[in-house]
Chains A and B, each alone.
Chain A
Amino acid sequence: MDELYATPRPRVTASMLPKYVGNNVTMVGLVDSGDIASDGNSFRLKVDDKTAVTVVMNTPLNELLEDVVEVTGTVNNQSHLQCITYRKITSTVEFSLDNYNKTVELAHSHPEYCTYK
């Protein structure tokens, strides 16, 4: 697990997945219990109103995922996310996925403002 944290895992939106094939990324989205495959090996992560990304697990899910989840994984060439780790986001105030996506897009469109080099 430590190797995972050795390199950055940028936050991305669904449209950016093709650019990050083979890299580790972080995505946040909604999971509906109906979106989990019956064998628990994969689930669909709704990253915005229109798009869902398939997340493939190494070991089957042993818990029911719902609401907001943050997944860190590798992008494969079908633009699916090979999950390395995930965590549930529990927030006392409703987490705005819309604002989050806009922020991620902003950060990517202005990489010069994310670094001081």
Chain B
Amino acid sequence: MFQNSGGMQDFGGDFGGGGFQVGGFGSPAVGDRQKKIRSQNIVPVTAQNVSEMIPDDSAFRLGDNDVSHVTLVGTVIHSEKSQTCTTYKIDDTTGTVIVKHWNSLDSEDDGMEGEESPVYEQGSTVRVFAQVRSFQKIVTLNALHIRPVEDLNEITVHMLECIKFNMVSKAKKNQKPSFPNQSSNAGFSQFSSGGGFAGNQMNQSSAMNMGMNAVQTQVWQLIEGSTDPGGMSITEIRSTLKGLNLNRIKEALDFLSNEGHIYSTVDDEHFKSTS
């Protein structure tokens, strides 16, 4: 769902090369290696969570997590348009949040006026992606992207995501490996720093849960394990995985490169893993 939100490129350099993991629960790999780095997750929150945020330097803390970007689903109960921005008061039954949506600078050019104008009217349900800001001790959100919610099951899903993020961050804090059936591979990568999961085991279970079938998993693990700078060639894969015919290997490679797990290097026959 998050991949289709659009408008993500507006975020500028903040997110590095990471892209967004489903649900935004895990940090991209870069974040894991550097200890003190601004959180790059989009945290799903409820209005109540927003009121619980504590300003911490230039970022905010929510429990034990650093948050800078959040997503929220709620109903517009008030909207006020000014020359520079539209201010919404959004309610999600747990509380209300003030969300400011600044007019896009592009609107000065011709033809771009429609870009920032949709003012969401009272009573409409919207999803907001925003940066957290505080102004005179009140936490407000600077909206980066707002869109109407068309499928109202999104409300249900958002509630669940908020609960899940809370659960995962509390479990991580207790360092309890109590989520053996965790389907998010990001959850596992957090646990590995706490110890208890052999790297191989983690990769295997995370790969199986990334929606790959057996062939794809084998091919991917092989490529990932290769240390050759030029990548692994199709012929090498074939000779190692003797049970698979060429077509199935090629199909697996297509799938993996479409999903972004591998990329071609020297030519179309050599591949390396992206992780």
A residues contacting B by CB (< 8 A) are 5, 8-11, 26, 68, 72, 87, 89-93, 95-96, 99-100, 103-104, 106-107, 110, 112-117
B251 to chain A, nearest CB (A): 31
Show 25 residue pairs from A and B whose CB-CB distance is below 8 angstroms, ordered by the A residue: A10-B94, A26-B93, A68-B152, A91-B150, A91-B152, A92-B150, A93-B152, A93-B153, A96-B153, A96-B156, A99-B153, A99-B156, A100-B156, A103-B156, A112-B170, A113-B166, A113-B170, A114-B94, A114-B162, A114-B163, A114-B166, A115-B48, A116-B62, A116-B63, A117-B52
Q: Select A106's contact among B52, B62, B153, B163, beta carbons within 8 Å.
A: B163
| Residue numbers in A under 8 Å from B152 (CB-CB) | 68, 89-91, 93, 95
B23 to chain A, nearest CB (A): 15
B94 to chain A, nearest CB (A): 5
Most chain A CB within 10 A, of B77, B94, B156, B166, is at: B156
Which residues of B from 136 to 186 have beta carbons under 8 Å from A? 150-153, 155-156, 159-160, 162-163, 166-167, 170
Total contacts A-B at CB 8 Å: 71
Q: Which residue of A lies closest to B124 (CB)?
A: A87
Docked complex Cα distance between A91 and B94 (Å): 22
| Residue numbers in A under 8 Å from B49 (CB-CB) | 115-116
Q: Does B46 interact with chain A (Cβ within 8 Å)? A: yes
| Residue numbers in A under 8 Å from B167 (CB-CB) | 110, 113
How many residues from B make CB contacts under 8 Å with A?
28
Docked complex Cα distance between A11 and B74 (Å): 13
Q: Does B95 interact with chain A (Cβ within 8 Å)? A: yes
Docked complex Cα distance between A103 and B167 (Å): 15
Q: Does B96 interact with chain A (Cβ within 8 Å)? A: yes
A11 in contact with B93 given A100-B156, A114-B166, A115-B52 (CB within 8 Å) = yes
Say yes or no: A91 contacts B48, CB within 8 Å.
no
Q: Which residue of B lies closest to A114 (CB)?
A: B163
A13 to chain B, nearest CB (A): 13
Say yes or no: A103 contacts B94, CB within 8 Å.
no
Docked complex Cα distance between A99 and B153 (Å): 8
A105 to chain B, nearest CB (A): 11
| Residue numbers in A under 8 Å from B151 (CB-CB) | 91-93, 95
Say yes or no: B52 contacts A10, CB within 8 Å.
no
Say yes or no: A116 contacts B166, CB within 8 Å.
yes
| Residue numbers in A under 8 Å from B150 (CB-CB) | 91-93
Q: Select A114's contact among B46, B75, B96, B153, beta carbons within 8 Å.
A: B46
Say yes or no: B96 contacts A110, CB within 8 Å.
no
Which residues of B from 213 to 246 have beta carbons under 8 Å from A? none
A5 in contact with B96 given A103-B159, A103-B160 (CB within 8 Å) = yes
| Residue numbers in B under 8 Å from A87 (CB-CB) | 75, 123
Q: Does B91 interact with chain A (Cβ within 8 Å)? A: yes
Docked complex Cα distance between A110 and B167 (Å): 10
A44 to chain B, nearest CB (A): 21
B155 to chain A, nearest CB (A): 8
Q: Which residue of A lies closest to B159 (CB)?
A: A103
| Residue numbers in A under 8 Å from B123 (CB-CB) | 87
B152 to chain A, nearest CB (A): 4
